[in-house]
Structures are given as structure tokens and as C-alpha cells.
């Protein structure tokens, strides 16, 4: 018996054994891919799961750049992946096949000039005749797979499909995610496609967040999401809702910072016809629209105290009173709230009701800033690169290893949102010089996208204070200005000062200036501050 045949048999035995073993999903997939590489020697290999949205999600990769795990591959855009999915037997592509390889530029090889794939083969993973995933092998040398044992690959693909199916069953049981009908599935998938329902990352902090969400999602407990701006609180809220028993109902979103105090009560609790000037018909509030579903109170720390009292009653008694009505109406609402403020500290200063804080913080979840989970940066960067290149109509792209290291070294004061914007700008700059092959996003593109280093917060605050000081030249307009220019100079100084004192938040800055939030933003745009 040849050593190659013996290695294939050992790999098949291992997969068969893993089918009955109690393993975490991630470990199961890594062991599966390692066994596959014993069947087919390759420079790179990848194991994918085919999701209901039609996209291929990497479960494990070997020999490919780290950001590959954060990407999603669409078979409709990748002719080779489509061919593998449609074939009932493993596919070995000729070296001269004109169809581009989806992993060109992604192979992690010491020779950084050698990125393009020259040998490619793959097999669809089917369970009960239905595709559930994909297994691919790539090599840099032509003819590497000419003598590959396709029969052994087919046998391995069959076992691998069973392993993925088993893992999916276990995950469904663990997350209580049995289907509630095709309509509910379609609604959930549509929301995932539009808003992105996957928490990307494998750091300890992201894993802990996933566990917290899995713990609280099946219940109806009120959840308070806390964390810095840009850490992904809205995505976490949608994940809680999508894993709950209310997932077939809407998630009603409320941006509390955008609610002017004059209309906040009507927006949240509704009003009767004739309740006030302009109330020409009865209107349901957000809490009534969320009856039987979930309401997400984003930036809840920005709510005026008068509205906080009414929300507290709703949380206590599950009832609302529309403006202009004497009738209390029952609602069955699950509440998820989010804030970048420290509400306990805000309560001590009299800016937030302590009793409302305790009502909201039944199950508090803290979202770690990106600087505390740097292991997630490469995966997130790969995900945002894919999104950006598709949006901008750019071809194949990859990061250089130096670029990934630069991204991982950055502190990301704006967190995931800042990373997304930086990657998008870098893709736009790199895409201008793209040719027919794979375009690389280099350090130069990142330096241009990141811009000048931000000042230390203490220095920035001192600078803002100096700018706003009446004694500073910046605050006092030069004497040779026209009246209009002097007024604009004063407006610009006051807006900057208000934003600095409000830590860049528009709603409290607008309140301090006696303006509506929308009017302040329009003024800032006119003054060139936004």
C-alpha cells in the first residue's frame, strides 16, 4: 500500500471519528481541513459553508492570508466556485483555464511576488443531495494536482458534508434556532443581508460577547448595551433580536438623540386626533408598533428627563398612554437599549434617572473597544475590503502583510466604524491604480486613508478650551472683518466649543446652544465644520 493511500485512509478515519466526537465547531472545522490537506497536498486549502443567502462563508483556511476569514464569496461572481458547486464530482481545473481563481493574491507565501494560483481543484459538499459547503485546494505550481486521487477526494467530501451538517445541527440546538416557518426565515435572512447580522471576530472579547448574546437572547429580559462609539452596539442589538423568539417580528429602531423633546412623547407613545396643533389623525407610537416584538432605544442616554419618567412606567407596567388620551394601553415589548455614556455616573450628576438605569440594566453587556481585541482587526478588515470593492466596482484586492500589521497596530479611537471608513478610503485610493490582476492595498494607501495622527484627548481638550477662550485670538474676530464674516466667526467658535464640551455629540451640543439637532448640523455644514 502506498504512503499516499495510507495517508488518505487515515484522514478519512479521523473525519469519521470526529463525526461522533463532542468538539467545538471551530476545532471541528480546523481538524477537518487539516485532514483534507493530508488527502491533497496543497499550498492553500479552504473549507466553506454555503449560507441561505447564497454566499460562501469561510469556516477554516490554511495557507491563505488571515483576512480571508472575514470575507464572503459569491459563487455568482466566481465562475470556478460556481462550477465546483454545480458538479456532482470533484473538479480539477486545467492550468490554462481562463476563469480567474478566487484566491489569486490571497495565498500566504514567503515569496511575496508569487500570489497567483496555477493549480486549482475543489469539491462540493452535499448532504442529502443538497450543497452545504465547498472544499478547495490551490497550488502555485502548474500541474500539482494532475495525479490527485479524485475518488479519495470524493469520499472525503462526503464525510466532510456530514461533519458540517452535524455541526449545524449542534449549533441550532445550542442557540435554540429551529425554524418557525419559511416566512420567518425569509424575513430574518433579508434583515441579515441588509444590515449584516454576523459578529465578525475570534478574539476572546468577541467570543465572550457571543456567549452573552446567546445567554440572554431567548429570554425577554431588558438588555443594556454599553460601549464606546463605533463598537457595533446596533449590530449586537440585531443579533440579540435575531436569536430571540421574537425574530419573526420587527426590530423597531429609535434614535433617542434625534428626538426633539417637543415631539419625543408623541413619537414614542403615539397621540390621538386633535391632541395638539397639527395632530390631524391618530398615530401609533414606537412602543405600540413594537407590540409583540422588540424596540431598540439607541443612544438612550440622550433622552430628556421628562421622557425618561414615561419610559420608566412603560418598563414597569408594560403600558403606554398616548398624548391626548386618558386610556392606558397594554403592550408586550422587549426592550434593548444602547449608550456610550456611563449612565450610573450620569445618574449621580442628575442627568439620568437612577431607577430607569436599573430598569434598563437588567442584563448589561459591555462591548470592548477595538484596541482591546486586535485579533479581530484582520478579519474585520477583510470583510470591509470585500464590501468596499464591491460597492466601488473594484476588482480583486488584497492587503500586503505590512498593511495588516499597520492596521493591527493602530489604536482605533473610532473603533470598528473608523476601521470600516479607513479601509473604504484605502480601497478607493488603491483602486484608482488597479489593473487586470490583483490590486494590493499597501502601507502608502493606509497612511493616506488614516490621515494625520489624532492628538491625545487631553491635548485636544486643552486646544478646544484655548480656541473657545474669549482671550484667544481665534475667539476674537479680527477687526477688519465685515459684520457677516464676524458673525460667522463667532458662530463657528461657539459650535466648536459646544461640540468639544459634549465630546462630539450633536444632541447635547444642540441643547446647550438652544438649537434643534438638525438645525445645528445644517449650520455646521454651512460653516465648514462638517
For residue 164, give the CATH number of its domain: 3.30.450.40
Q: Are residues 146 and 249 in the same domain?
A: no
C-alpha–C-alpha distance, residues 173 and 377, integer Å: 30
Pairing verdict, β 130-139 and 119-127: antiparallel
Do 199 and 341 lie in one domain? The reply is yes
- The whole-angstrom separation of Cα 352 and Cα 511 is 15
Q: How far is CA 65 from the centre of its chain?
A: 20
Instruction: Enter the C-alpha cell of residue 529.
Output: 465644520
Q: How far is 156 from 162, CA to CA, in rounded Å?
A: 10
> Cell triple for residue 366?
459591555
**Euclidean distance between CA atoms 458 and 19, whole angstroms:** 56
Task: Pull the grid cell for residue 304.
Answer: 430628556
- pLDDT band for 118, please (50, 70, 90 cuts): confident
pLDDT, position 227:
93
Q: Are residues 266 and 321 in the same domain?
A: yes
Q: How much is the average pLDDT of 354-376? A: 94
Are both 279 and 362 inside the same structural domain?
Answer: yes
pLDDT tens digits for range 380-439: 999 999 989 888 888 888 899 999 999 998 989 889 999 999 999 999 888 876 666 678
* Residue 151 shares a structural domain with residue 29: yes
Is 92 in contact with 145 (CB distance < 8 Å)?
yes
CA distances from 151 to 62, 259, 309 (A): 23, 64, 70
Q: Are 131 and 50 in contact (CB under 8 A)?
A: yes
41 phi and psi angles, rounded to 5 deg: -70, 125
Output the CA torsion sign for 26, 31, 32, 33.
Answer: positive
Quick one: which H or E segment has residue 58? strand 56-62
Element (H, E) at 165: helix 150-175
| CATH, residue 355 | 3.40.50.300
Q: Does 240 lie in the same domain as 278?
A: yes
**Do 133 and 26 belong to one domain?**
yes
Report residue 185's pLDDT band, with 50, 70 and 90 as the boundaries.
Answer: very low
517: pLDDT strictly greater than 70: yes
In a domain, 181, yes or no: no
Q: Are both 214 and 326 inside the same structural domain?
A: yes
In sequence order, which ranges of 20-149 are alpha helices (DSSP H)?
A: 25-39, 79-86
CA distance 344 to 342: 6
Cell output for 377 = 482587526
Supply angle C-alpha 109, 110, 116, rounded to 5. 35
- Give the three-state DSSP class for 136: strand
Report d(CA 28, CA 16) in Å as an integer: 12
Q: Which of 27, 22, 28, 47 is nearest to 37 (CA)?
A: 47
pLDDT at 189 over 60: no
Question: CB within 8 A of 495, min separation 6: which ones?
Answer: 509, 513, 520, 523, 524, 527, 529
Contact 346, 301 (CB under 8 A): yes
| Cα gap 490→475, rounded to integer Å | 7
Q: Check residues 465 and 385 and name the one with the higher pLDDT.
A: 385
Identify which has the larger pLDDT, 439 or 213.
Answer: 213
Question: What's the confidence (pLDDT) of residue 182?
Answer: 37
On the question of pLDDT at 490 being above 50, the answer is yes
pLDDT recorded at residue 8:
53
Q: Is residue 209 in some structural domain?
A: yes
Residue 252 sits in the same domain as residue 302: yes
Mean pLDDT, residues 19-48 taken together: 78
Task: List C-alpha distances in Å: 243 to 193, 291, 355.
Answer: 15, 18, 28
How many CA atoms lie within 13 Å of 206's alpha carbon, on the beta-carbon side?
Answer: 19
Which of 76, 63, 71, 153 lies closest to 114, judged by CA?
63
Look up the CATH number of the domain holding residue 445. Answer: 1.10.8.60
Q: Flag whether 234 is in a domain.
A: yes
Q: Are 268 and 306 in contact (CB under 8 A)?
A: no
pLDDT at 18: 53
Determine the Cα–Cα distance for residues 472 and 454; give it in Å rounded to an integer: 23
Identify the three-state secondary structure at position 369.
coil
Return the sign of the alpha-carbon dihedral for residues 443, 449, 451, 457.
negative
Same-domain pairing of 146 and 13: yes
Q: For the stretch 73-84, what's the b/e string if a residue is b when 16 or more beta carbons lie within 10 angstroms of its beta carbon?
A: bebeebebbebb
Same-domain status, 8 and 154:
yes
Domain with 58, as residue range(s), is 3-175
Beta bridge partners, 251, equal 294
Cα separation, 447 vs 368, whole angstroms: 25
Domain count, the chain: 4
Amino acid at each position: 500500500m502506498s504512503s499516499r493511500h495510507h495517508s488518505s485512509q487515515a484522514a478519512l478515519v479521523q473525519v469519521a471519528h470526529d463525526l461522533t466526537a463532542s468538539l467545538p465547531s471551530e476545532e471541528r472545522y480546523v481538524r477537518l481541513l487539516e485532514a483534507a490537506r493530508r488527502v491533497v497536498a496543497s499550498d492553500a486549502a479552504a473549507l466553506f459553508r454555503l449560507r441561505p443567502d447564497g454566499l460562501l462563508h469561510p469556516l477554516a483556511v490554511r495557507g491563505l492570508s488571515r483576512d480571508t476569514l472575514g470575507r464572503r464569496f459569491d459563487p455568482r461572481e466566481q465562475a470556478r466556485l460556481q462550477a465546483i458547486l454545480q458538479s456532482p464530482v470533484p473538479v480539477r481545473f486545467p492550468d490554462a483555464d481562463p476563469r480567474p481563481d478566487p484566491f489569486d493574491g490571497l495565498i500566504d507565501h514567503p515569496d511575496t511576488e508569487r500570489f497567483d494560483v496555477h493549480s486549482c481543484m475543489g469539491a462540493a459538499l452535499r448532504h442529502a443531495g443538497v450543497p452545504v459547503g465547498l472544499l478547495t485546494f490551490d497550488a502555485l505550481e502548474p500541474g500539482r494536482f494532475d495525479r490527485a486521487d479524485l475518488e479519495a477526494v470524493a469520499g472525503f467530501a462526503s464525510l466532510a458534508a456530514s461533519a458540517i451538517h452535524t455541526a449545524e445541527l449542534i449549533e441550532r440546538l445550542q442557540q435554540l434556532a429551529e425554524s418557525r416557518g419559511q416566512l420567518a426565515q425569509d424575513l430574518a435572512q433579508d434583515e441579515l443581508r441588509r444590515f449584516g447580522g454576523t459578529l465578525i471576530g475570534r478574539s476572546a472579547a468577541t467570543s465572550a460577547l457571543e456567549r452573552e448574546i446567546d445567554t440572554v437572547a431567548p429570554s425577554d429580559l431588558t438588555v443594556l448595551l454599553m460601549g464606546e462609539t463605533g463598537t457595533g452596539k446596533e449590530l449586537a442589538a440585531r443579533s440579540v433580536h435575531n436569536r430571540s423568539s421574537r425574530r419573526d417580528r420587527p426590530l423597531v429602531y429609535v434614535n433617542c438623540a434625534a428626538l426633539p423633546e417637543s415631539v419625543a412623547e408623541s413619537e414614542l407613545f403615539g397621540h390621538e386626533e386633535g391632541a395638539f396643533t397639527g395632530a390631524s389623525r391618530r398615530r401609533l407610537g414606537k412602543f405600540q408598533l413594537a407590540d409583540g416584538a422588540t424596540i431598540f432605544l439607541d443612544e438612550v442616554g440622550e433622552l430628556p428627563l421628562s421622557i425618561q419618567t414615561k419610559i420608566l412606567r412603560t418598563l414597569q407596567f408594560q403600558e403606554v398612554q398616548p398624548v391626548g388620551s386618558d386610556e392606558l394601553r397594554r403592550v408586550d415589548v422587549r426592550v434593548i437599549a444602547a449608550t456610550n455614556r456611563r449612565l450610573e455616573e450620569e445618574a449621580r450628576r442628575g442627568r439620568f434617572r437612577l431607577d430607569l438605569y436599573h430598569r434598563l440594566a437588567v442584563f448589561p453587556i459591555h462591548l470592548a473597544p477595538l484596541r482591546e481585541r486586535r485579533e479581530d482587526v484582520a478579519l474585520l478588515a477583510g470583510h470591509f475590503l470585500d464590501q468596499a470593492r464591491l460597492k466601488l466596482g473594484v476588482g480583486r484586492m488584497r492587503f500586503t502583510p505590512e498593511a495588516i500589521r499597520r492596521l493591527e497596530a493602530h489604536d482605533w479611537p473610532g473603533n470598528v466604524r473608523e476601521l470600516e471608513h479607513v479601509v473604504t478610503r484605502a480601497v478607493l485610493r488603491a483602486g484608482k491604480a488597479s489593473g487586470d490582476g490583483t490590486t494590493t492595498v499597501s502601507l502608502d494607501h493606509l497612511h493616506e486613508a488614516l490621515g494625520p495622527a489624532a492628538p491625545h484627548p487631553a491635548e485636544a481638550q486643552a486646544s478646544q478650551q484655548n480656541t473657545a477662550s474669549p482671550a484667544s485670538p481665534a475667539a476674537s474676530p479680527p477687526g477688519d472683518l465685515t459684520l457677516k464674516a464676524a458673525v460667522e466667526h463667532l458662530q463657528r467658535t461657539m459650535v466648536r466649543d459646544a461640540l468639544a464640551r459634549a465630546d462630539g455629540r450633536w444632541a447635547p451640543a444642540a441643547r446647550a446652544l438652544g438649537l434643534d439637532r438638525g438645525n445645528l448640523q445644517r449650520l455646521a455644514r454651512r460653516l465648514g465644520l462638517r
